[in-house]
């Protein structure tokens, strides 16, 4: 008989076997309906094989679904990604099928002529309607608008039988891009990079690092490579990944301007019916360019020839919840499986990517100067030990003076602080109690806009209490430290006539609001923008000439492996928003530690010195990119069960060379949503098969149902 191994979108460790009924032709990638207990589920065929019999009775596949099969290479990628991340393969396949969870868009109701019927009474308004409609079919409201009549005129013609209502399938709306529509004028460096990227596309898998300073025109360069690809191969598909939704709108506008057609979007802000349209158009080969978040990697491309990972260094490409993976690393793997080229673009490449380029694994293309007449901003440090702000203020005299000069020239200011809300800590003056979220170690952040205290980890919020919940003292709660709302309050007191706005995930929670805020800043309708990292990367504000970093030391605190690297990247990106057009820009960084190597490297523009120092420290400790890491996180409501499971894991560690396991230890955030947390960290030399070690280790221990185990290969968070 024939047996089909079917991936079911559930967290189970392997595919389930089902008997294939006689006469049902199945192939790898087909979508099928299968029974699982009392339920009927959708699954994906991973394999079909002949067998002479089985010592157990198999349930039969109930039928093949009409939805398109997953392409062979898409399924290869899903299986590889499951092995790499130690994730259930069915759950990984479920991510690829997410686009089918929504029903198809409802058919559109339109009106059309019924033969050559004429109205019993031909009024001027009715005549205009019939002349406007002609042989077409239009929505009733649109027909009335084009004819300049009321909707009642159209309804009367329908009631009389002159027009009829029909339902038509919703249009996909994916116009083909025109590579010759509006080519950009490239400088010699951009043109050379575009030519190199375009040439690489035809040569199978080839990873490329597009390394260009902020404002050097990386986007124009890779869009030109896309244009050359589509000219040579009109059926080719291109995927452009971005770390945040806020960045997608600006890129979509640029793509639409360049190619005369909008790309398809794929991210959480897209409605479910539209996501289904995109999914079906991708697998049907009707979409050429897709712009999306990391989950777009799992779309069923049939002719994927180029992947671009823009801002490849950004930690937002790391998925921390549910399936844990790094979008950049999986993008490289998908390009290899598809035989496609991949471009990793950044002004501040990750150390792992730079190391691969230095080793010759990636081709290295560099754009060393800004486009046109723009030059890099002048960066200076403000030593807060010498010129501190006034008491209960956060902007130092040198920064305020620079703001006065900039606003006097009718130019814009960006005040950067990567901290949402009004104050990051609220404590009691009477007893010193710090307010935390219930059943969570995370501090509550005060938000003055809403008058609430919010936990940014769990989303819990509560009104600001009148009394301390610990000692009961009245009016004793005080905010400690600044957030963007507090900086905005200070800026308003200093510059009452200035137009001030805040850009954070609180003020721009979705793509539409982010797009409107970016438009206002671009059009010069904002004088001072107080922003978190939401505005620190990818945006091009032509009138912005001063960036003030309120707390340059913020990211350097703590023992995070990548603290220095992330601070370097974030501050380089933030200061790089200044002076991107014809006016020179500058950046002032407030710091209590001006001698810190990261800040010194920023001030002197010494990226190579910073990279050399950081790589040397990583090499000495055999940390990435010289080594590999994996984290095991145990969570459970009962502390004893978590402790026992952690002890069992520690006792079952296999013997292995060039590999160490640290822990178990309490996580820095040891309590989240009422669940206790323990962590173990594995460090291995680069050539050790870390996944094989983890599989052998975990096979020795049975994890109880009351404890959840999460495996994080290449962790970015150590909380």
| 8 A C-beta contact, residue 332 and residue 207 | yes
For 519, phi and psi rounded to 5 degrees?
-65, -45
pLDDT tens digits, 89-144:
999 999 999 888 887 777 888 989 888 888 988 899 999 988 888 878 888 998 99
Task: Confirm whether 188-367 and 378-419+482-615 share one CATH topology.
Answer: yes
Could you confirm whether domain 188-367 is CATH 1.20.120.530? no
Q: Could you tell me which residues come within 8 angstroms of residue 430 by beta carbon, excluding any fewer than 6 positions away? A: 468, 471, 473, 476
On the 0-12 / 13-18 / 19+ scale of CB atoms within 10 A, 347 is buried
For 40, phi and psi rounded to 5 degrees?
-115, 120
pLDDT tens digits, 243-268:
887 777 788 889 999 999 999 999 98
C-alpha separations of 579 from 190, 220, 414, 535 in Å: 20, 19, 11, 15
Structure tokens at 319: 């998925």
Annotation: CATH topology of 627-713: Alpha-Beta Plaits (3.30.70)
pLDDT tens digits, 665-700:
998 888 888 899 999 999 999 999 999 999 999 999
Strand partners, 549: 416, 589
β pairing state of 108-113 and 659-672: unpaired
Q: Could you tell me which residues come within 8 angstroms of residue 106 by beta carbon, excluding any fewer than 6 positions away? A: 170, 273
b or e along 361-394 (b: 16 or more beta carbons within 10 Å of the residue's beta carbon)?
Answer: ebbbbebeebbeebebbebebbebeeeebeeebb
Could you confirm whether domain 2-100 is CATH 1.25.40.340? no
pLDDT tens digits, 427-454:
888 998 989 888 888 888 989 888 889 9
Over range 701-714, report the average pLDDT: 94
Whole-number pLDDT of residue 559: 63
Q: Map out the domains of the chain as residue ranges.
A: 2-100, 108-168, 188-367, 378-419+482-615, 422-481, 627-713
Over range 169-183, report the average pLDDT: 84
pLDDT tens digits, 293-336:
999 999 999 999 999 999 999 988 999 888 999 999 999 999 99
For 41, phi and psi rounded to 5 degrees?
-120, 155
| CA-closest candidate to residue 90, choices 150, 192, 10 | 10
Place 558 in a pLDDT band, splitting at 50, 70 and 90: low
d(CA 54, CA 69): 28
How many angstroms from the chain centroid is the CA of residue 228?
27
d(CA 33, CA 36): 10
| 8 A C-beta contact, residue 54 and residue 3 | yes
| 8 A C-beta contact, residue 373 and residue 582 | yes
| 8 A C-beta contact, residue 580 and residue 214 | yes
- Judge whether residue 223 has pLDDT over 90: yes
Q: Does the predicted model carry a pTM greater than 0.75?
A: yes
End-to-end CA distance of the chain: 51
d(CA 475, CA 453): 15
CATH code of the domain occupying 378-419+482-615: 3.40.50.300
């Amino acid at each position: 008989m024939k047996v089909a191994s079917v991936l079911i979108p559930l967290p189970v460790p392997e595919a389930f076997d089902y008997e294939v009924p006689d006469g049902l032709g199945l192939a790898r990638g087909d979508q099928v309906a299968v029974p699982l207990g009392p339920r009927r589920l959708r699954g994906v065929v991973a394999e079909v094989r002949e067998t002479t019999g089985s010592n157990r009775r198999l349930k039969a596949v109930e039928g093949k679904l009409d939805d398109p099969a997953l392409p062979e290479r898409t399924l290869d990628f899903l299986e590889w990604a499951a092995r790499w991340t130690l994730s259930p393969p069915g759950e990984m396949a479920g991510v690829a099928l997410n686009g089918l969870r929504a029903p198809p868009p409802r058919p559109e109701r339109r009106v059309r002529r019924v033969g050559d019927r004429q109205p019993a009474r031909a009024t001027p308004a009715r005549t205009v309607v019939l002349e406007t409609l002609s042989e077409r079919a239009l929505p009733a409201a649109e027909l009335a608008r084009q004819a300049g009549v009321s909707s009642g005129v159209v309804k009367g013609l329908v009631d009389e039988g002159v027009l009829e209502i029909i339902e038509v399938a919703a249009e996909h709306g994916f116009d083909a891009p025109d590579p010759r529509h509006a080519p950009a004028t490239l400088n010699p460096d951009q043109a050379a990079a575009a030519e190199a990227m375009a040439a690489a596309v035809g040569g199978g898998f080839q990873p490329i690092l597009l390394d260009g300073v902020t404002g050097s025109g990386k986007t124009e360069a890779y869009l030109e490579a896309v244009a050359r690809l589509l000219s040579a191969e009109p059926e080719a598909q291109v995927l452009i990944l971005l770390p945040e939704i806020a960045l997608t709108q600006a890129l979509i506008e640029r793509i639409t301007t360049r190619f005369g057609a909008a790309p398809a979007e794929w991210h959480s802000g897209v409605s479910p019916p539209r996501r289904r349209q995109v999914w079906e158009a991708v697998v049907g080969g009707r979409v050429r360019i897709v712009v999306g978040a990391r989950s777009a990697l799992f779309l069923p491309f049939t002719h994927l020839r180029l992947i671009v990972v823009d801002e490849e260094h950004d930690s937002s490409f790391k998925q921390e919840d549910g399936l844990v993976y790094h979008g950049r690393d999986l993008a490289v793997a998908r390009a290899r499986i598809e035989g496609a080229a991949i471009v990793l673009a950044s002004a501040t490449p990750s150390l792992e990517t730079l190391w691969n380029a230095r080793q010759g694994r990636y081709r290295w293309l560099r754009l060393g100067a800004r486009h046109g007449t723009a030059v890099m901003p002048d960066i200076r440090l403000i030593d807060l030990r010498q010129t501190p702000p006034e008491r209960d203020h956060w902007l130092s005299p040198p920064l305020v003076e620079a703001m006065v000069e900039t606003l006097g020239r009718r130019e814009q200011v960006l005040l950067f602080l990567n901290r949402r809300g009004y104050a990051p800590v609220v404590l009691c003056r009477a007893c010193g109690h710090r307010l935390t979220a219930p059943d969570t170690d995370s501090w509550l952040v005060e938000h003055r806009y809403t008058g609430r205290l919010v936990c940014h980890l769990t989303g819990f919020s509560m009104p600001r209490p009148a009394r301390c919940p610990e000692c009961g003292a009245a009016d004793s709660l005080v905010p400690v430290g600044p957030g963007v709302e507090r900086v905005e309050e200070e800026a308003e007191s200093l510059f009452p006539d200035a137009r001030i706005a805040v850009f954070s995930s609180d003020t721009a929670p979705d793509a539409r609001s982010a797009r409107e805020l970016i438009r206002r800043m671009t059009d010069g309708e904002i004088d001072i923008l107080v922003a978190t990292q939401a505005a620190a990367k990818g945006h091009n504000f032509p009138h912005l000439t001063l960036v003030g970093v309120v707390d340059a030391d913020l990211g350097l605190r703590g023992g995070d492996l990548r603290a220095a690297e992330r601070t370097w990247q974030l501050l380089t990106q933030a200061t790089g928003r200044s002076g991107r057009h014809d006016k020179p820009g500058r950046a002032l960084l407030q710091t209590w530690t001006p001698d810190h190597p990261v800040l010194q490297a920023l001030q002197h523009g010494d990226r190579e010195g910073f990279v050399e120092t950081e790589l040397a420290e990583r090499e000495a400790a055999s940390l990435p990119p010289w080594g590999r890491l994996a984290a095991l996180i145990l969570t459970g409501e009962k502390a004893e069960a978590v402790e026992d499971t952690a002890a069992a894991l520690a006792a079952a560690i296999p013997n292995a060379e060039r590999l160490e396991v640290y822990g178990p230890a309490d996580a820095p955030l040891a309590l989240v949503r009422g669940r206790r947390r323990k962590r173990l960290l594995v460090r291995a030399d680069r050539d050790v098969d870390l996944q094989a070690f983890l599989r052998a280790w975990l096979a020795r221990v049975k994890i109880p149902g009351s404890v959840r185990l999460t495996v994080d290969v290449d962790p970015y968070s150590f909380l």
